[in-house]
Structure 1
Amino acid sequence: MRNLPFSEIMNKAESYRDDMSKFLRDMIRIPSESCQEKEVVLRIKQEMEKVGFDKVEIDPMGNILGYVGHGKHIIAMDAHIDTVGVGDPSLWEYDPYEGYEDDEIIIGRGASDQEGGMASMVYAGKIIKDLGLEDDYTLIVTGTVQEEDCDGLCWQYIIEESKIRPEFVISTEPTDENIYRGQRGRMEIRVETKGISCHGSAPERGDNAIFKMAPILNELKALHENLHEDEFLGKGTLTVSEIFFTSPSRCAVADSCAISIDRRLTWGETWEGALQEIRNLPSVQAVDANVTMYNYDRPAYTGLVYPTECYFPAWKVDEDHDACQAVVKAHRALYDRDAKVDKWTFSTNGVSITGRYGIPTIGFGPGMEKEAHFPNEKTWKDHLVKCAAVYATIPGMYLDQIGE
């Protein structure tokens, strides 16, 4: 086993507590919703260069990639650096882009989801450089875009277009200091009914598309209750998230109605099967409703359009996989206790990394999943420190785990 200086790694991480906190607050101060990440990417580039990354580049989609080392084993650590919006500002006790800081926490949009992960990764790179921990690996730290809009699209681009294929990826999405090895997938579905408009004073002359949708909604609710369940990932779910209509006026019968469905896919479920379950509903067949999957083609902040279908596969990694065990052992060596090995409830870039391409993803990140998209979103400075130490240790542990 490599003689990794665990106490020095922890001490170094602790010494960068204030630097990580400042860097995170700087990122929070820069609004960076999906497709508007340019300024925060430039701020990350500045920090990577300041701490001594060997190479820093921004790809045509706008993802930032920082490199440490030149070895043959390619290991990636990922944080998406776009955020959701603020929502109702009255629900925030503090300005979401200025936030709040004390000795323990930092509040602001993106604190947990998930710019905190970027702060810890960058300083893990500095710890590796400070302590001369480079070995026969190349660590690629990625700050990826458009995840909140279309999770995994950034990694479709990195793998397909940049031809980067790591041996495994650490996702720094929030895990509350646990280690995660899977998540349910998801897809975005549209159901549409057609009608015929007429004056609202004589609705019998028309065909109301909204009334046609009503029994479909009831059958969808029942379908949700009977979806497949996996022992580890849990149950598939379905919720109606949006409803639309067209009508000549408020004094007319609606001539179309459509709904959006957020469908969470557990292990063994497929996008084809999920669509067919809805198409098979008697209410859908009775009105010949159209059931389709959404597509995504919104331009990145660079102007690049990289279209994909809105399907994000479920995935999981075996607990005894070398990548998972490297994280388990790094945590144990540093903190003399085992972290809980579990799964995310929400979706991550792992839908592409593992779900599409079979590259193992292991999650370990600062913050808590429940803080994501929440008003007064916060993270913990202790998490930033701990994650930076674990990230700096993982590459060496992985080489030990595979016997190199």
Structure 2
Amino acid sequence: MGVRDDILKKAKEYRDYTAQVLSEMVQIKSYSGDEEAVCRKIVQMCQDAGFDEVRIDGLGSVIGRVGNGPKTIAFDAHIDTVEVGDPDQWKFDPFSGLIKEGLIHGRGSSDQKGGAASMIAAGRILKELGYSGEYTVYFTFTVMEEDCDGMCWKYLIEEEKFKPDLFVSTEPTSCRIYRGHRGRMEMMVRLKGVSSHGSAPERGESAAYKAARAALAMEKLNADLQPDDDNFLGKGTVVVSQIDVKGPSQCAVPDQAMLYLDRRLTWGEDKELAIAQVKKYISEAIGESEDKVQVEMPMYEELGWKKLDYHQELYFPTWKIPEDNKLVQAGVSAYKDLWNKEPVVDKWTFSTNAVATTGRHKIPAIGFGPGDEAQAHAPNEITRVDDLEICSAFYAMLPYVLEGKN
């Protein structure tokens, strides 16, 4: 038997094991910043799977290693989840980890502990095959992604000087190969008016009306935004997600307004461009100079479970890599070698930790993960056991293909 047949056999053999690993992870509540229990469990799981090394970094992420080659590849899964939301919308316990009829149920099953479970199985497969090739294979189980995507990797690269040669995100792709996604940023717009008594509004200048015109200006900006040159990622977007208006009292013309913006960035757009666009459109809408429109990027300053004081601005750069890139083509080859058919090559709608590895630090990246993007943050979240088997095989196969040993 060749490597391909060995990997497929072991992935199938460990199908139930991988599902059980995921079920146990789902049963451990792990909201952003409160992941210690699941991280400790993952350390144990990686050790039980025979990994060569397992450690926890300064921010709280788990870093597992298999092999000791001169080149490095990292498979990444964030292991924090969003909260449950309205419990009445769930048909089952969100933390049951129920395995039934080929599905694993519960919060994080798709987004994105499924990828983590397949990574552990892939590490076990590589160890049992005696992998000792050109790559040191890292499996990273990262924290705080839901609150601040990529900060875990910004920390690893910039503070711990851990920068792999290649990166694979295991966020849900429905077992398709993804090679990019839009970036994003958050902005806070502040506008000022002049207060007066509510009985004589003509004496004042309402910040509320400015905010209303500014919101409509953002609607216009959203309509005017254009896609990237090859229309792979599509157009950027801007959404007013919050408006807050304040004044001296409920019987006064408000003199302060704040608009909070969610801006999605396509290829060729960055924070400087986005801020300049907001200033221009709002300035024109309210009839004031651009310097009167205050636009700032908030900072993310929450502490993780290790209480390390580490933060970043809420800016997450766009990334995409060409379809003829070596890593993309290795992913395509691995998929074809395993299943004798062409994979779908596409992109995410949402954002991942690759905003840091690839958007900021230009590490070539692809995505391949179990579960569906549409399951992310949704009630009654599920993923397929079939996907877990497929992904564990793909992750184990990719290092062999990269060094031409398929």
For Structure 1 versus Structure 2, the TM-score category normalised by the shorter chain is over 0.9
Contact 2:67 2:131 in 1 (8 A): no
Residue 76 of structure 2 is aligned to residue 78 of structure 1: yes
Corresponding position of 2:24: 26
Q: For structure 1, which segment, 39-48 or 204-213, has the greater mean C-alpha deviation from structure 2 after superposition?
A: 204-213
2:319–2:359 contact (8 Å) kept in structure 1: yes
TM-score by length of 2: 0.95
How do 1:256-295 residues align onto structure 2 when only pairs under 5 Å count? 256-281=256-281, 282-284=284-286, 286=288, 288-295=292-299
| TM superposition shift of 1:72 | 0.7
Deviation at 1:375, TM superposition (A): 0.8
Deviations 1:76-101 (Å, cap 9, x if unpaired)?
00001111111111111112112532
1:279–1:285 contact (8 Å) kept in structure 2: no
- 1:187 corresponds to which of 178, 182, 185: 185
Aligned 1:57-76 pairs, distance under 5 A = 57-76=55-74
Query: Aligned to 1:298, which of 302, 315, 340?
Result: 302
Q: Counterpart in 2 of 1:333?
A: 337
Which amino acid in 2 is paired with 1:356? R
SS at match of 2:111: helix
Displacement of 1:198: 4.6
Tell me how far apart the structure 2 counterparts of residues 205 and 375 of structure 1 sit (CA, whole Å).
50
2:207·2:255 contact (CA, 8 Å) conserved in 1?
A: yes
1:284 and 1:39, CA in 2 relative to 1: closer, same or farther beyond 3 A? farther
Q: Secondary structure at the residue paired with 2:112?
A: helix
- SS of the aligned residue for 1:239 comes to strand
Partner of 1:239: 239
Q: In the alignment, which residue of structure 2 is the partner of 1:38?
A: 36
What is the SS of the residue equivalent to 1:147?
coil
8 Å contact kept, 2:211–2:243: no
Contact conserved, 1:241 with 1:261, CA < 8 A, in 2?
Answer: yes
* Structure 1 stretch displaced more, 58-67 or 228-237: 228-237
- Per the alignment, residue 399 of structure 1 pairs with 403
2:105 maps to which of 95, 104, 107: 107
Listed as ranges, the matches of 1:144-293 within 5 Å are 144-230=142-228, 231-281=231-281, 282-284=284-286, 286=288, 288-293=292-297
- Aligned residues of 2:22 and 2:97 also touching (Cα < 8 A): no
Secondary structure of the equivalent of 2:184?
strand
How far did 1:219 drift?
Answer: 1.2
How far off is 1:125 after superposition? 0.3
The separation in 2 between residues aligned to 1:324 and 1:100, in whole angstroms, is 34
2:115·2:369 contact (CA, 8 Å) conserved in 1?
A: yes
* Cα distance, 1:133 vs structure 2: 2.5
Change (3 A) 1:133 1:214: same
Matched, 1:365 2:363: no
In 1, the alpha carbon distance for the partners of 2:204 and 2:280 equals 26
| Structure 2, gaps ≥5 residues long | none
Name the structure 2 match of 1:52.
50
Contact 1:4 1:396 in 2 (8 A): no
2:356 aligned to which of 342, 352, 355: 352
Query: Could you say what secondary structure the match of 1:263 adopts?
Result: strand
Cα distance in 2, alignment partners of residues 74 and 97 from structure 1: 35
SS in 2 for 1:35: coil
Provide Cα deviations, 1:94-135, integer angstroms capped at 9, x if missing partner: 121125321311121111110000000011000011121231
Query: Per the alignment, do residues 285 and 65 of structure 1 end up closer, same or farther by CA in structure 2, a change over 3 Å counting?
Result: farther
Q: Which moved more, 1:14-23 or 1:251-260?
A: 251-260
Distance 1:317-1:280 versus aligned 2 partners, 3 A rule:
same
TM-superposed CA distance for 1:196, in Å, is: 3.9
Percent of aligned pairs sharing the same letter? 47
Structure 1 position 202, deviation (Å): 4.2
Distance in 1, matches of 2:312 and 2:103, equals 37
Number of residues of Structure 1 aligned to a counterpart in Structure 2: 400
Relative to 1, partners in 2 of residues 1:13 and 1:284: Cα closer, same or farther, differing over 3 Å? Answer: farther
Determine if contact 1:228/1:269 at 8 Å carries over to the other structure: no
Which one is further off, 290-299 or 144-153?
290-299
AA paired with 1:235? K
Say if 1:171 and 1:365, in contact at 8 Å, map to a contact too: yes
TM-superposed CA distance for 1:199, in Å, is 4.5
Query: Which range moves more in the overlay, 119-128 or 130-139?
Result: 130-139
Moved more, 292-301 or 261-270: 292-301
Shift of 1:272: 0.5
Judge conservation of contact 1:278–1:284 (CA < 8 Å) in 2.
no
Give the drift of 1:30: 1.4
What SS class does the counterpart of residue 143 from structure 1 fall into?
strand
SS at match of 1:39: helix
In the alignment, the residues of structure 2 paired with residue 51 and residue 74 of structure 1 have an alpha-carbon distance, to the nearest angstrom, of 20
User: AA paired with 1:48?
Assistant: C
**Residues 213 and 13 of structure 1, relative CA distance in 2, 3 Å threshold:** same
Query: Normalising by the residue count of structure 1, what TM-score does the alignment of the two structures yield?
Result: 0.95
Partner amino acid for 2:285? S
